[in-house]
Amino acid sequence: MASAAFLSEITGKDGVSPDRLSGALRITKSELAAAAGLSRDAVSKSSRYGSVPTQTRLREMSEIINRVIPWTGSELAAYAWYRSQPLPSLGDATAEELVRQGRAELVRSYLARIAQGGFA
C-alpha cells in the first residue's frame, strides 16, 4: 500500500512542488532535475515547473517512489531504490533511468506485478 502522507507532503496547489519534493528526499533541485530527466530550469523557475511536461515527470517520479515506500521502509530508502536498484525484467535499468527516458509506465507495470505477487 502506498503512502498518501508522502504525496500530500510534496503536493502544492499547482501540483508536485519541486521545493517540497527535493526537501522530502533531502536533495538539491539540481539533483531532482537530474533524477527526473529534466533541466534545472524546469524545477527552478515557477513559469516552468507548472508546465504539463514537468509536472508529468515529477508526478511519475513521486508516484513510483511512493509506491515502494512501504517495501523499503522510508522515503529516503525508496529514493535510493529508485536511483540504484536494477529491474531484471526491464533490462536491468533502474527506475530512474526509465523515468528519464519517458518510460515510467514500464516501472509502474513492474511494480504492479510485484505487488500482486509476481516475479520481476
Determine whether 43 is exposed, middle or buried from the number of CB atoms within 10 Å of its CB (0-12, 13-18, 19+): buried
Give the tens place of pLDDT for each residue, 37-92: 999 999 998 878 889 999 999 999 999 999 999 999 999 999 999 999 999 999 99
Helix axes 75-84, 52-72, angle to 10 degrees: 110
CB contact burial 50-77 (16+ within 10 A = b; e otherwise) = eeeebbebbbbbbbbbbbbbeebeebee
List the domain boundaries for the chain: 4-115
What does pTM read for this prediction?
Answer: 0.90
